[in-house]
Amino acid sequence: MEYMTGKRPYIFWMICWKYISPLAILIIFLANVVKNTSGIAQYKVFVGCKEQLTNFTSLAPGNDNQTAKVNYPPWAQFIIVVFITISMIPILIFLIRDLIRNPSRWVKGFRSKFGTLADLHPDPVRMDPSRRKTPEETEMTIMKEDAANA
């Protein structure tokens, strides 16, 4: 952001991006998991109305809403669980594997993310004058990082 706009975003945005948004996403995810696992999965099926002459479904006669909630069969619930977990298992495996192999890198990463107050300040130069860089120095830093990542 600083490179594109010439100034750092205000502390409100940095706190939102670093702490509030990930926490909100985690809470929404957990609430969704709890909601979806608290009962048996159901779907709506058309059952017709009470006055119909021909019963075309085993759920007939119908009702006032013409639909009814029906439980998914156990095999369908199993397939749903398999599809959901298949997409998440590789992420968890690689996360745990990397945590076991490189615990020091995780500690270093947390320390850098939860850094000093100067890192959160919209203009860190006010708190630490040694951080002042010219646009050319900023561009050279970015070029070096791009070269190292390539």
pLDDT 10s digits, 81-127: 889 889 889 998 999 999 999 999 888 887 777 766 555 555 666 66
Determine the pLDDT at residue 93: 94
Q: Which residues contact 59 (CB under 8 A, 6 or more apart)?
A: 45, 47, 68, 70
Collapsing DSSP to helix, strand or coil, 130 comes out as helix
Distances (CA, A) of 21 to 5, 121, 128: 22, 19, 28
Tell me what pLDDT residue 56 has.
64
Q: What is the dihedral of CA 45, 46, 49, 53, to 10 degrees?
A: -120
Tell which wins on pLDDT, 144 or 2. Answer: 144
Residue 119 confidence (pLDDT): 59
Closest CA to 98 of 86, 107, 87, 85: 107
> The whole model's pTM is what?
0.44
pLDDT in tens, 58-85: 666 666 677 878 888 889 888 988 898 8
